Chain A
Amino acid sequence: MSSGASPVHSQNERQVKHETIESAIVRFAGDSGDGMQITGAQFTTTTGVAGNDLMTFPDFPAEIRAPVGTLGGVSGFQIHFSSRDIHTPGDLIDVLVAMNPAALKVNLKDLRPGGVLLVNTDAFDERNLSRVGYSSNPLEDPAVAEKYQLIRAPITKLTRTALEGLELQQNHMDRCKNFFALGVAYWLYQRDPETTTHWIKDKFKKNETFVEANLRALRAGYNFAEASELFTSRYEVRDAHFEPGLYRNINGATAIALGLIAGADRAGLELLYAGYPITPASDILHELSKHKNFGVKTFQAEDEIAAAGAAIGASYGGSLGVTASAGPGINLKLEAMNLAMITELPLVVINAQRAGPSTGLPTKTEQGDLLQSFFGRNGESPIPILASATPADSFDCSIEAVRLAVEFMTPVMYLSELFLIFGSEPWRVPSADSLPVIRHNQIQAGEDPAAFHTYARDEKTLARRWAIPGIPGFEHRVGGLEKDALSGAVSYDPDNHERMALTRQQKIENIANFIPEQSVYGEESGQLLILGWGGTHGAIRAAVEELKREGVSVSHAHLRYLNPFPRNLGEILKRFDTILIPELNLGQLSWLIRARFLREVVGLHKVKGRPFLVGEIKAKAMELLGRN
C-alpha cells in the first residue's frame, strides 16, 4: 500500500484465512448516482495491472438519473478475473456489493450460495425498502444470512466519519462512499490501491479536498475490512499466464477508435469519422475526438443520414470515411450505404448493436441486426460483413474493416455489440509496424488518363480504381443510377444492369479468397459443433472448454466473416452430426446457414438484453449430446 493510503495493521489477533483461488466474479451495484461504474473501472485497472486475466460487463439503466433508490435506477458493474484464460464476465457472482435495497433486489439472484454479500446498511431504511417493495428488511431475514456471507457495513456513516474535518458538504462526502466499497474489495483481494490513488490525484487535481476525501474513503474501506471481524477470508488470485508483452485494459469502443486510427495510418489515408450521438456508439466518437493530432477529423453530424453522407463525401475525396451508430441510426444510414455500394466507394459502417427493435432496450445488448446487414438495403446489394468477438478483438476487426473497404472499394458493415463496446479485457499492445499494411488504389497524378475507365476493374480484387477529384484528365461522374460496366456513363441497358449486379455480387464473394479460412477449436469433426459469431464468442468458448475438461467432446467455430463466409465453412459443417448456433436473437445466423448450405441446425436463442451465461450453452450442448 503506498502514498497516502496505508492501512492500519491488524491490531487484533484474529485469524484471517488467506486463500488462493483461481477466479472470482465481483459485482458492484448501486444507484446510478452512486459511482458504481467508476468503482468497477478502478477495480478493473488494478486487477489488470496485478496480472490477472479479466473481463468486465457494465450494466446500467437507460435513464441518466432514474429516481434515487428505484429498481429502474440500479447500475451495476461486473468483473470476472482469473489466473487462467477467461472469456466471459462470468455467470454466478462471488461477491456482490449492494449499496441500497434496489441494488440488492435486482442482483441477489445472481449471487452464488455462500458468496459474500456486502451491503450498505445505512441505505436500508424503511423508505428505501418500501420503495422497491420490500415489506421487511431482507437483511434481517435469517435465510439470507444463512445462504450468504452477509457483511453489514454502515458505509455512509463510516465514510462521513472518515471525512470529518474536511470542508465538504454532506452530499459531497456521500459521493465518496463508492471508494469506501472499493477499499473493502481491495482488501478482500489483497490489491494494491496505488493505481487508484494515482487516478484520484489526477482526476481531482483541481480540488485538493476531493483528492483527500476520496483517498480517505478508500483507506477507510480498506481499514474497515482489516479491522472489523466481519471477514473470515482474504483471497489471492495469482497472475494469469500471459504471453510476454505490454498489456493494457481496453474496452470495445476504445479498441475500435484505435483500430480506425491504426487502419487509416496503415493505409496512408486521412480518417474522417462522422457520427450522431447514440448509445452505445457515442463512445467511439468521444474517443476519436480526442486524437486530433493524428489528423483525425471528427464530425458530429445533424443526424445519422448526414453522418453517413459526410463519410461518403470524405471517401469520394480520398479520405477514409467511417461512420457508426446503433439500431435506429443504422436504419437511417442504409440508403447512403447503398449509394456507396453502387458507386463502389470505401466506407466503414460500424453497427454497435443494442437490443431492439426500434429504440428497444437502449442500454442492453443483442445481436439482432445480422439479417438487416445482409438484406436491409433495396436491390441486390451485397457488402462484406464482419463481427468482432471480444472487446480487444475490436481493434483487429476495425483494421480489417478498413482493409476490406479500401482494397475492395466497398462499404463494409462491421457488427459490434453493446456488450463488446462497454466490456473490457486485457489487451496485448501490438507495435504499429506489426500491423497489416493496407493498399489503396487511388489514381496518382501523372497516370495516363486515356487508359482510365470509371468502372474498369482490377482482375484479382474486381475493385474499380479510386479516382479522386483534383487530378487532371480523370474528371468523371459517379452516382446512384446504374452505370455502364466500363465507361461509368449512366446506363439503363437491361443486360448491363444484370451484368453489373452480378459483378458486384462476384466482387464480394471473391473476398473469400482474401480472408483466412475458418478454424475450428477442438476436434475437426465429431458429434457437435457450436457455431457462433460476435460477442457470444466468450460464453461459447468457456462452455466448450469446460465441457472438454469434463471429458465431453464439443467443437467451436467462431465466425469473424459473415459475408462472404470463409471458403471452407461448408466443408466444416459437413463434418459434424449436429450444429448448434447460439445467438442473442431469434435465429438469424441459423437462417443464413440453412439457406446457404442447406444444412439443418439447432438454434439457441436469447433476447433478454443480456449475454449468454456459460451454463446456458453447456446445458444445451449436453442436451443435444443426450447427456442429461
Chain B
Amino acid sequence: MSATALTKKDFVNDQEVRWCPGCGDYAILAAIQKTMPELGVAREKIVFVSGIGCSSRFPYYMNTYGFHTIHGRAPTIATGLALARPDLSIWVITGDGDALSIGGNHLIHAMRRNVNIKVLLFNNQTYGLTKGQYSPTSHPGTISKSTPYGSVDQPFSATAVALGAGATFVARTYDKDARHMSDVFKRAHEHKGAAFVEILQNCVIFNDGVFEDIVGKDQRVDHMLHLQHGERLRFGKDNQKGLAITDFAAEVVDAASGRLDDVAVHREDLQNPGYAFLLSHLMQPEFPEPVGVFRSVEKPGYESAVIAQIEEQTARRGRGNLDALLRSGDTWQIH
C-alpha cells in the first residue's frame, strides 16, 4: 500500500463515533484524519495509543493500529512500543485529567527521556467521562460536581509541565482551527523525539465555552498570540500590540507607535527553555495566550540511544551466544 495514495477516507473506519454532539473532539478527529495522509507514512505503521477519558476513545475511530489502555498510562505503553518498534509512528491521545493528574509521572518521564512519541493532550479543563469534575488545568474557583463551592487548587499549565520536564517539542493549538491543528500535527510528526501538543478542546456538556475568551472568533484577535519562528510576538487588530520581554517578564506594548523594536522575536530553537517557559505562563486576561510552536530543539532520542548501545555492545562482544552465556561463570565438569 503506497502511503502517498492515501486519503482522509482511509483513516475513517466503520465504528460509530460516540462523543456528545458538538464535542470539540470531532473537529480534532477530523483534523487528524485529514493530516495523516499528508505525513507520508504507511497506514499500517501508524499507531494510536490512548489512556482513559472521552478523548481516549479516539483510537477506536481511526482506521490504524490502535490501543486504548488504562488511565494515565498511555505514555508507558507507548514508550515500550517505541523501544520495541522504532519503525512505527506512535501517537498518544490523552486528556488533561489523564495526562496531568493520574498520568503526570509518566508524561514527564516520557518527555524527559525524549521518546519518539507524539502526545496530543485534549485539554477541556474538566473530566468529561466521569461527568464533570474539575481537572488539574481548571482555573481556581471552578464550580464543578466535586467543587460546588469552587475549586481551591492552583492549576497546571500543560505546556509548562511539558517544558519543565524537558520536552524538546512543545506546541499548542485549538479545536476551532482545522488548519492550525493540521500544521501543528505535521510539525510534531517531523520532530525527532518526544513532541507534546496541547489542544484546547471544548466540552459542550461540562465546560462549554471555557476557552471562548481565547478561541472565540471575535476574541482571537486580541486574546490569542500566534507564535511564528523568527517573527515578533504581535497580536491585536492589524498587529498593533506586541509583547516585550525584559527582566524575565513579559509586558504588553503598543507595537504600532514606536515600541516595535522592544517586541520580542519568537525563537523556537532556544536550548534554554526559560523563554518558552515564560510564554507557557501567559494567561488571560493579562496576556494573550500563545498558540503555535513554543519550542522545537534537537536532542538525542531515547530509543535510538538504547538501540545504539545494543549495537555497540554487540559489535564489541559479538552477537550473544546462548550456550556460552549458560556456561559462563565458574563451571566444573562431572564425568
Residues of A within 8 A of B (CB): 45, 48-49, 51, 195, 242-250, 258, 261-262, 265, 270, 272, 274, 291-297, 299, 301-303, 305-319, 321, 335-336, 339, 343, 429-432, 468-481, 489-490
- B residues near A49, Cβ cutoff 8 Å: 330, 332
Q: How far is it, in angstroms, between the C-alpha of A294 and the C-alpha of B323 when the chains are bound?
A: 12
A478 lies within 8 A of B67 (CB): yes
User: Smallest Cβ distance from B322 to chain A, in angstroms?
Assistant: 4
Q: Tell me if B70 is interfacial: C-beta within 8 Å of chain A.
A: yes
In angstroms, Cα B70 to Cα A240, docked, is 53
Q: Given that A261-B325, A481-B68 are known contacts, is A313 also in contact with B77, CB under 8 Å in the complex?
A: yes
Q: 10 closest A-B pairs (Cβ-Cβ)?
A: A313-B80, A479-B68, A309-B76, A310-B80, A294-B320, A317-B84, A313-B81, A313-B77, A292-B313, A477-B66
Which residue on A lies nearest to B303, using beta carbons? A297
What is the CB-to-nearest-CB distance from A150 to chain B, in angstroms, rounded to a whole number? 33
User: Whole-angstrom distance from the CB of B22 to the nearest CB of chain A?
Assistant: 22
Contact A249 B106 (CB under 8 A): no
Q: What number of residue pairs across chains A and B have CB atoms under 8 A from each other?
A: 215
Q: Given A293-B320, A471-B44, A475-B44, does the pair A339, B76 have CB atoms closer than 8 Å?
A: no
Beta-carbon contacts under 8 Å, B33-78 to A: 42-45, 47, 49-50, 52, 59-60, 62-70, 73, 75-78
B7 proximal to A (CB < 8 A): no
Given contacts A318-B84, A478-B68, A479-B69, 4 further A-B contacts (CB under 8 A): A51-B332, A294-B320, A306-B106, A470-B44
Contacts of A430 in B (CB 8 A): 326
Partner of A295 from B50, B81, B109, B314 at Cβ < 8 Å: B314
Q: Could you list 9 examples of A-B contacts with CB < 8 Å?
A: A247-B334, A248-B327, A262-B326, A294-B320, A296-B310, A302-B106, A477-B66, A477-B68, A480-B68
Closest Cβ neighbor of A309 among chain B residues: B76
User: Least Cβ distance of B157 to chain A in Å?
Assistant: 22
- The interface size of chain B toward A, counting residues with CB under 8 Å, comes to 61
Contact B60 A48 (CB under 8 A): no
- In the complex, are the beta carbons of A470 and B85 less than 8 A apart? yes
The answer to whether A335 and B84 touch across the interface, beta carbons within 8 angstroms, is no
Pair A480/B70 contact, Cβ less than 8 Å = yes
Q: Is B1 an interface residue (CB 8 A)?
A: yes
Provide the bound-state CA to CA distance between A51 and B88, in Å.
Answer: 52
The answer to whether B314 touches A292, judged by C-beta atoms less than 8 angstroms apart, is yes
Inter-chain contact B85/A318, CB cutoff 8 Å: yes
Check A309 against B44 for contact (C-beta < 8 Å): no
CA distance A313 to B65 in the complex (A): 13
- Residues of A near B313 (CB, < 8 A) are 292-293
Q: How far is the CB of B115 from chain A (nearest CB, A)?
A: 10
Which of A294, A302, A309, A472 lies at the interface centre, i.e. has the most chain B CB atoms within 10 A of its CB? Answer: A309
Q: Which of A301, A432, A490 contacts B323 (CB 8 A)?
A: A432
- Chain B CB count within 10 A is highest, among A258, A317, A468, for A317
Report A-chain residues with C-beta under 8 Å of the C-beta of B326.
258, 262, 429-432
Instruction: Give the residues in chain A near B334, CB-CB below 8 Å.
Output: 51, 242-247
Q: Is the CB of B83 within 8 A of A265?
A: no
Question: In the bound complex, do residue B15 and residue A319 qualify as a contact, i.e. CB atoms below 8 Å apart?
Answer: no
| Given A469-B45, A469-B65, A472-B1, also A310-B83 (CB < 8 A) | yes
A237 to B: closest C-beta gap in Å: 15
Give chain A residues whose Cβ lies under 8 Å from the Cβ of B328.
248
CA distance A470 to B323 in the complex (A): 32
Interface of A is mostly: mixed
B322 in contact with A265 (CB, 8 Å): yes
**From A305, A313, A474, A478, residue with most partner B Cβ within 10 Å:** A313
Using known A-B contacts A310-B79, A313-B81, determine if residue A248 contacts B329 with beta carbons closer than 8 Å: yes
Contacts of B306 in A (CB 8 A): 297, 299
Contact of A469 with B60 in the complex, beta carbons under 8 Å: no
Q: Does B87 contact A (CB under 8 A)?
A: yes
A293/B83 contact (C-beta < 8 A), A246-B331, A246-B332, A479-B68 known? no
In angstroms, how far is the closest chain B Cβ from the Cβ of A339? Answer: 5
Contacts of A262 in B (CB 8 A): 322, 326
Cα(A319)–Cα(B84), bound, Å: 6
CB-CB under 8 A from A45, the residues of chain B are 330
In the assembled complex, the Cα of A307 lies from the Cα of B85 at a distance in Å of: 17
Within the assembled complex, what's the spacing in Å between the Cα atoms of A316 and B59?
15
Residues of B within 8 A of A469 (CB): 44-45, 47, 65, 81, 85, 88
Q: Is B9 on the interface with A (CB-CB < 8 A)?
A: no
Contacts of B60 in A (CB 8 A): 477, 479, 489-490
Partner among A429, A468, A480 whose Cβ is within 8 Å of the Cβ of B331: A429
| B335 interface residue (CB < 8 Å to A) | yes
Flag if B330 contacts A321 (CB, 8 Å). no
Contact A306 B332 (CB under 8 A): no
The verdict on B317 contacting chain A, using a C-beta distance below 8 Å, is: yes
Q: Select one of A48, A265, A301, A489 contacting B330, CB under 8 A.
A: A48
Which of the listed residues A247, A308, A479 has the most CB atoms from chain B within 10 Å of its own CB? A479
User: Bound state CA distance, A245 and B331, in angstroms?
Assistant: 10
Question: Which residues from chain B contact A317 at a C-beta distance below 8 Å?
Answer: 80-81, 84-85, 88
Q: Tell yes or no: B333 within 8 A of A by CB.
A: yes
Q: Closest approach, in angstroms, between the C-beta of B249 and any C-beta of chain A? A: 34
- For residue B60, give the distance in angstroms from its CB to the closest CB of chain A: 5
Bound complex: CA of A262 vs CA of B327, how far in Å?
13
Query: Does residue B105 face the partner (Cβ distance < 8 Å to A)?
Result: yes
Q: How far is the CB of A96 from chain B (nearest CB, A)?
A: 26
Q: Which of A250, A272, A302 contacts B80 (CB 8 A)?
A: A272
B327 touches A244 (CB 8 A): no
- Closest CB in chain B relative to A430 CB, distance in Å: 7
Q: Contacting B84 at CB < 8 Å: which of A246, A270, A292, A432?
A: A270
Using CB atoms, name the residue of chain A closest to B314. A293
Across-interface contacts of A335 in B (CB, < 8 A): 70, 73
Question: Smallest CB-CB separation from A472: which chain B residue?
Answer: B44
CA distance A574 to B75 in the complex (A): 51
With both beta carbons as reference points, the residue of chain B lying nearest to A274 in the complex is identified as: B80
Chain A positions within 8 Å of B73 at CB level: 305-306, 309, 335-336
Residues of B within 8 A of A481 (CB): 68
Query: Which residues of B83-125 are within 8 A (CB) of A?
Result: 83-85, 87-88, 105-106, 109
* B309, CB-defined interface residue at 8 Å: yes
With a cutoff of 8 Å between Cβ atoms, the chain A residues found around residue B335 in the complex are: 244
Judged by a CB distance under 8 angstroms, whether B285 is at the interface is no
Which residue of chain A has its CB nearest to the CB of B74?
Answer: A309
Residues in A neighbouring B329, C-beta threshold 8 A: 248-250
Please, which residue of chain A has its CB at the minimum distance from the CB of B47? A469
- C-beta contact mask, B160-199 vs A, less than 8 Å → 1, else 0? 0000000000000000000000000000000000000000
B84:A247 contact, CB within 8 angstroms:
no
**CB-defined contacts of A248 to chain B, threshold 8 Å:** 327-332
Complex Cα distance, B83 from A308, in Å, reads 14
Whole-angstrom distance between the alpha carbons of A294 and B317 in the complex? 10
User: How far, in whole Å, are A262 and B59 apart by their CA atoms in the complex?
Assistant: 35
Q: How far is the CB of A486 from chain B (nearest CB, A)?
A: 14
